[in-house]
Structure 1
Amino acid sequence: MKKPQSISIFFTLFLLFIFACIACSNDDDTTATNDGDGEIVTSTDYDISSILTKFNAAGLSYEISGDNVIFTTNNLPDHKSPYYLDTEWEAELYEPYTGSNANFSLNPNRIAEQNITITIPIRPAEATTKEATALGAMGIAINGVVFYNQYAGPNNQPLTSEINSFDQYLGHPQQQGGYHYHQEPEYLTNTFGEDSFLGLLADGFPVYGPIENGEEIINTDLDEYHGHTSATADFPDGIYHYHITSEDPYINGNGFFGTPGNITN
């Protein structure tokens, strides 16, 4: 009579074990990803609302509307530049070129106030169909200056010649006076660190500097969109993010990893 009772207890415990495993799997919505160095990083659905307070500059504001954050910026850089020459801000913000490019040549444009609105998803996700970045603004830095892609207008030319007009902080204005960064915004990395959060692209994914975990990021560390998934100081559970590198394509590769929101000038 004891033997059947033992079997009954065994099956009861076995069923409890199965139910416990199922319950644990249902309670955990995290996914596991590899950060490229063999370390497993767990991540949940992405939410960038925690980093919005880092966008704190004069002439820059944002508001949350549903599942989006809407940035409005006058796009005036908060650092000095030779491109403030002959503007209303010259007395305060003009500074001759102090960079290291022996071929620097001031372009004929001067910084002018803009009115740019960028709508960005708060919960970015990988897009099923990736979109190419267009000429013009493709994202926004924490100081309110917009990011441009790796091409010069009007015909998606390499930056080979245009790069010689970048000021000491690696930005310059276009014909309408809209200042922008195609490359590393050195004023921000000098101020906050080369591993710091620098801004967002229009698809909601963060942009970080060229250093991660004490090592310089190079193009081969990143995917075709110029990003990867790993933990960051702001997202310890891991997030897909772009990195700025010293070589073309600099900020973004073959398009947005996620689905971009609207950009209006």
Structure 2
Amino acid sequence: MKIKLFQPTGSIVLLLVIICACKKNASNDSSTDNSVTVTTNVGASVPDVYKKIYGATDIYIEGDYVVIKAKNLPDHKTPYYQNTKWASTMYEAYNGTNSQWSQNPNTIAENDATYKIPLHPAVASTHVSTPLGSMGVAVNGIAIFNQYAAMRAPLTNEVNGFDQYGGHPQQSGVYHYHAEPYYLTTKKGKDALIGFLLDGFPVYGPLENGKTIANADLDVYHGHTGVTADYPSGIYHYHITSADPYINGNGFYGTPGTISQ
């Protein structure tokens, strides 16, 4: 008895080709998900200073606010990429100078954050405290936290978990900086724009006009008013210092916008 072999019709062959192509594209999409490279989409009328935020996915104007969207994935290597899908290219063992260093048990996870900050920041009539969690965003799209650990405890012990670039992830994987982000101050300069707090006022590194800024040079909110490279007419701005409270003092100088995650 002869066995009749199945002969696929032209339409079936076409369907098989499409299925294979879809599978191939899905595989390609999966591989791009492992990249921390970000393309920033900048909307119309966004001031030039906000275009320095190279780690955002989107920056645009919405009424009287600048909206900044970021995935919160550091663009530098860190031990906290260990056991993540980015480990093959972004993991780096600790090689800093803290002899007390101990890696915390958390690992980096992608986190979609939307910052909505005032386009025209102004001093607040009532100054509010900064929140636990993100109080601002760095130019590489990373969250900026205040000077406290959980329950508003000092960073005395937590600082020993900061990686060689000054950051670490919390329990849900949100990588953040409490203090100087050494990757940025090395790459951009000690006097460079580091980011913005939620009230819209900029954060600069620890150097200004060739002088290292100390806490005594700043007000209780950890800033002062003066000319910067980005604001030649002058603006209130925060500075990073080497001692507590590091980035912000007794709350926001201006009225904060919002962050949603």
TM-score, with structure 2 as normaliser? 0.82
Q: 1:89 maps to what in 2?
A: 86
From 54, 64, 68, give the equivalent of 1:67.
64
Separation in 1, partners of 2:139, 2:48: 14
Specify the alignment match of 1:38 in structure 2: none
Structure 1: give runs of 5+ residues left out of the alignment: 1-47
Listed as ranges, the matches of 1:150-229 within 5 Å are: 150-153=147-150, 155-229=151-225
Distance 2:139 2:82 in 1: 24
Q: After superposition, what is the alpha-carbon deviation per residue over 1:227-263, rounded to whole angstroms, capped at 9, x for unaligned?
A: 0001011111110000000000000000000000011
SS at match of 2:61: strand
Q: Secondary structure at the match of 1:135?
A: coil
Whole-angstrom CA distance in 1 between matches of 2:250 and 2:48: 28
**Partner SS for 2:89:** helix
Q: Which runs of 4+ in 1 moved over 3 A?
A: none
What letter matches 1:103 in structure 2? Q
State the alpha-carbon separation in 2 of the partners of residues 63 and 175 from structure 1.
Answer: 30
Question: For residues 62-118 of structure 1, what are the alpha-carbon distances to aligned partners after superposition, in whole Å with 9 as ceiling and x for unaligned?
Answer: 111111011111100000000000000000100000100001000000000001111
Distance 1:52 1:197 in 2: 10
1:246 aligns to 2:212 (yes or no): no
Query: Given residue 202 of structure 2, which amino acid in structure 1 is its aligned partner?
Result: P
Q: Which amino acid aligns with 2:83?
A: D
Whichever residue aligns with residue 85 of structure 1, its letter is Q
1:220 counterpart SS class: helix
1:53 aligns with 2:51: yes
Secondary structure at 2:187 match in 1: helix
Shift of 1:49: 2.4
SS at match of 1:245: coil
Aligned to 1:107: 104
User: Greater relative contact order (Cα 8 A, min sep 6): structure 1 or 2?
Assistant: 1
In structure 1, distance between residues paired with 2:149 and 2:132: 8
- Pick aligned residue for 1:131 from 128, 131, 134: 128
How big is each residue's C-alpha offset from its partner over 1:5-59, in whole Å with a ceiling of 9 and x where there is no partner? xxxxxxxxxxxxxxxxxxxxxxxxxxxxxxxxxxxxxxxxxxx9230110113x5
Q: For residue 76 of structure 1, what is the aligned residue in structure 2? A: 73
Secondary structure, aligned partner of 1:138: strand
Q: Percent identity?
A: 57
Aligned mates of 1:60, 1:195 — CA distance in 2:
25
- For 1:122 and 1:186, locate their aligned partners in 2 and report how far apart those are by CA, in whole Å: 27
Tell me how far apart the structure 2 counterparts of residues 227 and 60 of structure 1 sit (CA, whole Å).
Answer: 28
Q: 2:58, 2:182 → 1: CA distance? A: 22
Amino acid at match of 1:54: K
Partner SS for 2:152: coil
Q: Distance in 2 between matches of 1:219 and 1:194?
A: 16
SS in 2 for 1:241: strand
* d(CA) in 1 for partners of 2:63, 2:83: 42
Cα displacement (A) at 1:60: 2.9
Residues 60 and 143, structure 1, Cα contact 8 Å, conserved in 2? no
- 2:141 corresponds to 1:144: yes
CA distance in 2, matches of 1:247, 1:119: 29
Name the Cα RMSD after superposition. 1.2
Partners of 1:250 and 1:207 in 2: CA distance:
11
Tell me if structure 2 keeps the 8 A contact 1:140–1:199: yes
- Secondary structure of the residue that 2:50 maps to in structure 1? helix
